[in-house]
Amino acid sequence: MLPRFPAVTRSLSLAALLIAGPAAALELPLPPPGEDIVGQVHVIKAKYEDTFADIGTANDLGYLEMIAANPGVDPWLPGAGTEIILPTRFVLPPGPREGIVINLAEYRMYYFPKGESVVYTFPLGIGREGWGSPIANTRITAKTPNPTWTPPASIRKEHAEDGDILPTVVPAGPDNPLGPFKFTLGVPGYLIHGSNKKFGIGMRTSHGCFRMFNNNVLELSKMVPVGTPVRIINEPYKFGISAGKVYLEAHTPLDDQGNPSVVDKHTAVINALLKREDLANNLRMNWDMVRDVVAAEDGMPVEIAVPVENQGAAPMVTSIPPELQ
């Protein structure tokens, strides 16, 4: 039986992390050619007053990914001494490792700076019900510090129905929902920007734009030039190789409107595997583990297979079992 949980690194407490304030971006070295996994899972012990929002802000993690990695733990009062898993190990998104890649299903951005062997990754808030974020290939078309906000008529109407009358223009400052910086995308009407709210990063809370922690968007603004390609995908199941083993990372699937999907999850994970032509027909697969990972949706890479050529034996399973078809 393959191990269910990856190795973790333990820290004594969250206190040392919080002393320095919000964390900088997770900067991780790229893996060797042919490999796909970066980072390491950590475990900390919470203090009495900690919440998942505090822990996420301090460690560049979104709210929902903290909940997924820590089932059964109260996100508002974990309790002093409670061990909290920080899901800071990632299978890199499929496709070219260039520019910005946003994966809606994991509420996360990856930035691959040109000519560097590192990746930066940030949690994101994405479009909520009725305001889904787009799936697209686009670019950064403009960068604007201290932006003003001109709410579109649709948003002004929505707020007015709740008795909140928005001005035609919101000036730059602490009350501006775009925060201290915005990136304009080539998809009309969509931005990557900061926020005037601490809560909502790593959730479905926006009107379709991509929200970041303010310290993150300011850090990104120093690294990303105009013209940078941006690829927006929706991949809940990511397969990756590390040290000769195959891993699966599973998230809750989202539909085209950004809501949890009722898609057949087993079919979806098989389709994701079939896209990896280098893996699909050459694995010693543990299908019981695959089922467990798909059911857990905890966002952490778990070993599920070994390539046949790496272990010198006939494949355990070379075809999809009937119950997963």
| Residues catalogued as catalytic | 193, 209
Closest CA to 201 of 57, 86, 69, 105: 57
Element (H, E) at 287: helix 287-296
Cα separation of 177 and 202, whole Å? 16
Please name the residues in contact with 143: beta carbons below 8 A apart, sequence gap of 6 or more.
181, 182, 183, 184, 221, 224, 226
Is 77 exposed, middle or buried, given 0-12, 13-18 or 19+ CB atoms closer than 10 A? middle
Q: Do 276 and 239 contact (CB within 8 A), yes or no?
A: yes
Specify the pairing of strand 89-91 against strand 37-39: antiparallel
The conformation of residue 207, written as its DSSP 8-state character, comes to S
Q: Which residue, chain included where needed, has tokens 């098989």?
A: 270
Cα separation of 296 and 251, whole Å? 8
Cα separation of 213 and 2, whole Å? 37
Q: Do 155 and 142 contact (CB within 8 A), yes or no?
A: no
The conformation of residue 76, written as its DSSP 8-state character, comes to S
Q: Which residue, chain included where needed, has tokens 């299908």?
A: 287
Please name the residues in contact with 164: beta carbons below 8 A apart, sequence gap of 6 or more.
none
